[in-house]
Chain A
Amino acid sequence: EIVLTQSPTTMAASPGEKVTLTCLASSSVNYMYWYQQKSSASPKLLIYYTSSLASGVPDRFSGSGSGTSYSLTISSMEAEDAAIYYCLQLTSTPPTFGAGTKLELK
């Protein structure tokens, strides 16, 4: 199965700061998907097909990448963005998630 490695594991950002989260795949994938999970809530889809913004997601979020290297960028950190972010690959069965990046507000 494809292993997704997310970095950093944990980070803190100040309001207004640009944030970039990385997801590396053990084999090439066609697309990457990104989810946000707050506290005990269910994961929320942010980005699909690597760079498409899900409905209702603020445009400060963006995704990019190809092959084995993908990233999620928040152009300007806001307090409500503090959460755990997971990447997901669906190219190969079974689908696999990264271990997550915990983003905190500084």
Chain B
Amino acid sequence: QVTLKESGPGILQPSHTLSLTCSFSGFSLSTYGMGVSWIRQPSGKGLEWLASIWWNGNTYNNPSLKSRLTVSKDTSNNQAFLKVTSVDTADTATYYCAHTRYNSGYGYYFDYWGQGVMVTVSS
């Protein structure tokens, strides 16, 4: 059974760095085809993909956030991390991590999602 849970600071000030942790069980980020993706959702609005990290260490970021995103993993402890630098009020959102499955010939998709963690950027 795959489960994921996000954790983060709750509130932080503009210009600071947001650090989020995704703790998961039911799969290993060292297994072929496994990945973790980060997606966010401002309150009452739609979903935005942020970044993905794969079993082989490859990472992909949303170009719209330029170089503000860093995604990493700790395979031994079943955790993935997201850092967002220079946050402002537009980064206020619920942040989700999602188990990402890759199937050769078909591509990948997000199947299991965490419950989300709300992050507020405010001075």
Binary contact track B59-86/A, C-beta < 8 Å → 1, others 0: 0101110000000000000000000000
Contact partner of A45 (CB less than 8 A), chosen from B46, B47, B111, is B111
Measured CB to CB, the closest approach of chain B to A88, in angstroms, equals: 8
Q: Which of B7-15, B16-24, B25-33, B112-120 contacts A (4 or more CB under 8 A)?
A: B112-120
Say whether B64 contacts A86, CB under 8 Å: no
Residues 22-65 of A, flagged 1 when their CB comes within 8 A of B and 0 if not, give 00000000110100000001111100110000100000000000
Interface residues on A, range: 20 to 34
Interface residues of B (CB under 8 A from A): 46-49, 60, 62-64, 96, 106-116
Q: Which residues of A contact B (CB under 8 A)?
A: 30-31, 33, 41-45, 48-49, 54, 86, 88, 90-91, 93-100
